[in-house]
Structure 1
């Protein structure tokens, strides 16, 4: 009986130690995930301040101007960034190159719209911060 108790204690110790390692590993990733989430929230706010919805619709899926979500779904990162930064003035799309609100957050803005395109970020919702 004593041997069984010792074996059980060792097994439980191993389980607790394993759970602790998993918990510590998840905690170590949390700051990186939180930073990524925070940059998406910041990008979402920048898009709202720039009022992209005025032309692209409430959920950026098209109105007077095409869907940004659809554009992110079908275009490369480079093409998406060039379209936002260079705009298309003859069609009414302003260029945001030199605008720190957009230019400083362009990678996160791209990730936000890719998240919208793949369904990991819901329409009308602020992206998760973690």
Structure 2
């Protein structure tokens, strides 16, 4: 797959940009959906488990429950190479939707969103 086709695929999967939905009704649902899509494309489940509650790597949901927003975002962007966690700084899919990803996991952590739920779908 070429870089261009990969970029097109990612753009299609991620959907509207923050500036488009930030002013529309349902922006919270759109943010959760964009965060969910970005996490799916990045395939965090391969290490963190199907519901991101731990597998070979710790629970992202638990991490969101116990850490500040700033610490959560730094952990994703900077990674932890010694533990096998890649850094996503420089990855436009993750960087452009880092707040959405945090909102998604915060909603999972506080019970507003159930494991396996697809945000934005009735």
Gap runs ≥5 in structure 1 = 1-30
Q: Quote the RMSD (CA, aligned, Å).
A: 1.5
| Partner in structure 1 of residue 58 of structure 2 | 66
What secondary structure, in the 3-state scheme, does the structure 2 residue paired with 1:64 have? Answer: coil
Contact 1:60 1:68 (C-alpha < 8 Å) held by counterparts: yes
What secondary structure, in the 3-state scheme, does the structure 2 residue paired with 1:73 have? Answer: helix
Number of residue pairs matched by the alignment? 100
Q: List per-residue Cα deviations over 1:34-65 (Å, max 9, x = no partner).
A: 12211210110110010000000000000000
Structure (1/2) with the larger helix percentage = 1
Contact 2:60 2:105 (C-alpha < 8 Å) held by counterparts: yes
Q: TM-score, normalised by structure 2?
A: 0.77
Higher Rg: 1
| Partner in structure 1 of residue 5 of structure 2 | none
Q: TM-score, normalised by structure 1?
A: 0.73
Gap runs ≥5 in structure 2 = 1-22
**Runs of 4+ in structure 1 over 3 Å off:** none
CA distance in 2, matches of 1:129, 1:115: 15
Using a 3 Å threshold, how does the CA distance of structure 1 residues 53 and 73 change in structure 2: closer, same or farther? Answer: same
